[in-house]
Amino acid sequence: MTDADITVAAASRTITYRDALREALRDALLRDERVFLMGEDVGCYGGCYAVSKGLYDEFGPDRIRDTPLSESTFVGAGIGAALNGMRPIVEIMTVNFSLLALDQIVNNAATLRHMSGGQVSVPVVFRIPTGAGRQLAAQHSHSLEGWYAHVPGLRVVAPATLEDARGMLWTALQDPDPVVMFEHVMLYNMEGTLDAAAGPVDIDRAVVRRPGTDVTLITYGGSLFKTLAAAQALAADNVSAEVVDLRSLRPLDAETVLASVARTRRAVIVDEGWRTGSFAAEVSARIMEGAFWSLDAPVARVCTAEVPIPYPRHLEQAALPQPAAIVAAVKALMGA
């Protein structure tokens, strides 16, 4: 199968985020025989978020590999396979369960290159669903991306759009280093149109998703659409908000953030992590270090309330960053 075969369909079509991810997986499996997908229920069951549905029938149990409930070992096995010439994609059911494999990710994937004096690379991709919104209560709803972004040796990306869902995986697989890719669970059903020719995307740079002049709203992953909604609401009140989608948390494209803040002179960071020790804190500090003198107001943050995510819908929604809170944070900055 050639690239041409993969991009046959019509010019653009309606597709979900889930389907875009599946296309990306399929594409990767077809392009490179070293690629395989491994994780809990990725095969027979079809993936617990149905992302890999159908792939087991198409590619077989060797390349769509169901594992036992052994996060640490199948994650470590992915690292070992990468060391030994494969290009594994390892799916961990949710970021909450990834904690059982944190040792392998932090102590092996992230460190082996450095500890070996540059002798080895670990070309593995970890796909990890993250985030809240489905009333799954505390042990299935957290957003711990910032913890991973803390670790040198890892690359951390978060596709928010259909283009990125379709394109980031291949770029991540081309990267010789371990990439942790966070998929927000509320995005899987998101539908939109995607160019049939959509392919690999850059994973190094942030992008401006909506231009504006009065304030920069900085976010990533599942919070992007809430932030865009807030920007739209602000426009009705004559506040022009620019929205920056970070896409990559490590390396962080501070340049794009700082350039935007230098123009708008105000910044609000929207992050589904908890405020204390959050990734938003890191972005805020970068802005202080790099754009302090161009600020007209203190940097503000809209984060998740400092509670384990509760089960009831009203409490869950109250805990999470919402458009109204983003609007309020911006208005406070504007002195409105």
Partner 1 sequence: MTDQSLAPHAKPRLTRDHLLGLLRQMVRIRRFEERCGELYQQEKIRGFLHLYIGEEAVAAGVMACLHPEDAVVATYREHGHAILRGVPMTAVMAEMYGKAEGCSRGRGGSMHLFDVGTRFFGGNAIVAGGLPLAVGMALADRMRGRPRVTACFFGDGAVAEGEFHESLNLAALWKLPVLFVCENNLYAMGTRLDRAQSQTDLHLKAAVYQVASEAVDGMDVVAVEAAARRMTDAIRDGAGPQFLECRTYRFRAHSMFDPQLYRDKAEVEDWKRHDPVARLSAWMRETGMLHDADLPAIERETEAEIEAAVAFAEAGQWEPVEDLAKDVYTREVHP
Of positions 46, 76, 273, 321, contacts partner 1 by CB under 8 A: 76
Per-residue tokens: 227: 């932030």
Nearest distance from C-beta of residue 258 to partner 1, angstroms: 14
CB contact at 8 A, 248 and 219: no
Given 23, 40, 71, 91, which residue is catalytic? 71
Q: In the beta sheet, which residues pair with residue 38?
A: 65, 90
Nearest distance from C-beta of residue 59 to partner 1, angstroms: 12
CB contact at 8 A, 43 and 65: yes
d(CA 128, CA 221): 12
102 binds partner 1 (CB under 8 A): no
Contacting range for partner 1; rule: CB under 8 A; set: 159-167, 234-242, 247-255, 266-274:
247-255
**DSSP secondary structure letter of residue 308:** P
SS3 content of the chain, % helix, strand, coil (to 5): 40, 20, 40
Which residue number, 119 or 238, has a Cβ lying nearer to partner 1?
119
Given 23, 40, 91, 140, which residue is catalytic? 140
Of positions 177, 290, 297, 322, contacts partner 1 by CB under 8 A: 177
Active site residue 150: no
d(CA 89, CA 202): 19
Strands 87-91 and 12-16: unpaired
Nearest distance from C-beta of residue 130 to partner 1, angstroms: 21
Q: What angle is formed at CA 51 by the lines to CA 205 and CA 193, rounded to 5 degrees?
A: 60
- Applying the rule CB under 8 A, the residues between 106 and 135 that interact with partner 1 are 107-108, 112-121
Active site residue 58: no
Per-residue tokens: 229: 């909604």
Per-residue tokens: 218: 């900085």
Of positions 2, 9, 10, 152, contacts partner 1 by CB under 8 A: 152
252 binds partner 1 (CB under 8 A): yes
Per-residue tokens: 197: 């020719």
Q: Indicate the angle between helix axes 279-291 and 254-264, nearest 10 degrees.
A: 60
x/- mask, partner 1, residues 283-322, rule CB under 8 A, reads ----------------------------------------
Per-residue tokens: 87: 């290009």
- Applying the rule CB under 8 A, the residues between 185 and 244 that interact with partner 1 are none
Which residues here bind partner 1, judged by CB under 8 A?
36, 62, 67-68, 70, 72-86, 88, 103-104, 107-108, 112-121, 152-153, 155, 175-177, 250-252
Which residues are part of the catalytic machinery? Answer: 71, 140
